[in-house]
Amino acid sequence: MLNTIYEDTSDITFENTSDYEWDDTFGIIPHYALGPTWPLAVSLYPEYDLWIGKRQRRTDTRAKFGNLRTYKWYEQDKIEFSVNWLCASYASLINSWWDTNTKLQFYITSNNGPTEAHSLMLMNENEPLVAHNKPYIEYYRGEIKLEGY
């Protein structure tokens, strides 16, 4: 019989899995795209704060004699980055995806096409791209927060 001494159901951990070491030696430069499908994807050029990781919900339970049991309830992708100098049409499209809760794909590609795809949704509290790059009003900047579904 398992006697629970400690139980924490609000334990959410984040793990950074961004181990992409790209260099231009062999012409391998990453390209990022976001959209509902590959042909409809918008090309993005994230700043250096690109963070790719996992969000995990788990419960740790300790038995009377010290045995630790970990129950992993779910694990989903989480990606955060900021963008600058995004044209008004792309910003409007991304903001419309946020308004309609569209299920998106985040593509990481090399020169040959998509090499990695993550199924995500925009999870910003407010519209992601609303600030202008002054003095220009046709370019937007903001932070994009994506989480798996």
pLDDT in tens, 106-135: 998 877 766 888 999 999 999 999 998 888
The pLDDT value recorded for residue 28 is 60
Beta carbons of 72 and 60 less than 8 angstroms apart: no
Least confident of 37-41, 75-79, 113-117: 113-117
Q: How far apart are CA 41 and CA 107, in angstroms?
A: 8
Structure tokens given for 115: 């090499």
Per the domain annotation, does 103 fall within a domain? yes
The pLDDT value recorded for residue 74 is 83
Domain count, the chain: 1
Q: What percent of the chain has pLDDT over 90?
A: 44
Top-confidence range, 19-23, 53-57, 82-86, 115-119: 82-86
Domain that includes residue 65, residue range: 6-148
Beta carbons of 148 and 76 less than 8 angstroms apart: yes
Beta carbons of 117 and 107 less than 8 angstroms apart: yes
Per the domain annotation, does 18 fall within a domain? yes
What is the rounded (10 degree) CA torsion for 137, 141, 145, 149?
Answer: 50
pTM of the model: 0.72
Per the domain annotation, does 50 fall within a domain? yes
The pLDDT value recorded for residue 149 is 81
The label of the residue with tokens 């985040």 reads 106
Q: Give me the residues paired with residue 60 across strands.
A: 8, 70
Per the domain annotation, does 1 fall within a domain? no
Beta carbons of 142 and 130 less than 8 angstroms apart: yes
Rounded to the nearest integer, the mean pLDDT of the chain is: 81
